[in-house]
Structure 1
Amino acid sequence: MHAEEGPAPPHAAADITEHVGYRLKRAAAALRGAMDGALREHGLTVPQYSCLELLDENPGISSAELARGTFVTRQSASVVLRGLQDGGLVTRPATADHGRALPVHLTEAGRHRLTAARTAVYDIERRMIAAIPARRLDALLADLDRMTAALDR
């Protein structure tokens, strides 16, 4: 018996650890781990921090928009928002003025927590990008955008 020959790999690779997807996942896991640790010191999770960042840039967006922007389901976004609201970091009305969307806003406490957490997260990103030559950063970002666009088709 001989092993059935499988599909050709997308590029030359000695093993799975040399595949682009594996490397991207490994980098994402390292980033997530670093962020989890740093944000824990500020009483936040990564999804909560992401919500605060989006709300700072887009005050009054709906929970559905927050879910899309933070790459979680609407149900998960509701849980995250409930935690932020219970912690006094965001507000949203009990009923909508018009339509069904309930606009979400940062509170002053939310802004202060975001500023402190942002400092920690930006330090992590600085450490991460310091590992590559500065002249390659724009190309890396463009390549990541092109890979994302290729999969979004």
Structure 2
Amino acid sequence: MEDQKPTPPPHPADDVTEHVGYRLKRAAAALRGAMDTALREHQLTVPQYACLELLDQRPGLSNAELARSTFVTRQSVNVVLRNLQDAGLVSRPATTEHGRALPTHLTPDGRARLDAVRSAVYAIERRMIATIPEHRLADLLTDLDRMAAALDT
């Protein structure tokens, strides 16, 4: 076996905790934990909340569109939607006139639950971005989009 040279890190870093990916994961985990806590009080999960937000902005999304937009599999979004439907928060037709996609809509109870939880979720985001100087926020969002685009296949 040949001696292999160590692979250099993508940028100067003393250990793994200084890598961009590690820091992104740490921030995502902190956000997820704070959201889980806030949403639990409203009997919602993060994927359920994400579906409610998306359906408020774009009523009639299909399961596949919701899965892509909430970063879960189609199978997982089916479970999420079934639970939301059982709770009376969304409605979906049993059949569709065109194709196979079943459009999903918020019910009045779904809209009320979303309105009730939104302030808690937005407070978490406000707390998180309060640590970023206002003049840098737009650049941060652009940089995050660029990083995601660089990895999209």
Q: Which residue in 2 is equivalent to 1:119?
A: 119
1:112 is displaced (CA, Å) by: 0.5
**TM-score (norm. length: structure 1):** 0.96
Q: Which runs of 4+ in 1 moved over 6 A?
A: none
Q: Distance in 2 between matches of 1:5 and 1:35?
A: 43
**TM-score (norm. length: structure 2):** 0.96
Matches within 5 A, 1:1-150: 4-150=4-150
* Code of the aligned partner of 1:142: T
Q: Distance in 2 between matches of 1:55 and 1:43?
A: 18
Q: Distance in 2 between matches of 1:60 and 1:30?
A: 31
1:5 is displaced (CA, Å) by: 3.2
Secondary structure class of the residue paired with 2:5: coil
Using the aligned pairs only, state the percent identity: 74
Q: CA RMSD in A?
A: 1.0
- Give the unaligned 5+ runs of structure 1: none
Q: Distance in 1 between matches of 2:79 and 2:72?
A: 11
Q: Distance in 2 between matches of 1:117 and 1:123?
A: 10
1:4 is displaced (CA, Å) by: 4.8
- Give the unaligned 5+ runs of structure 2: none
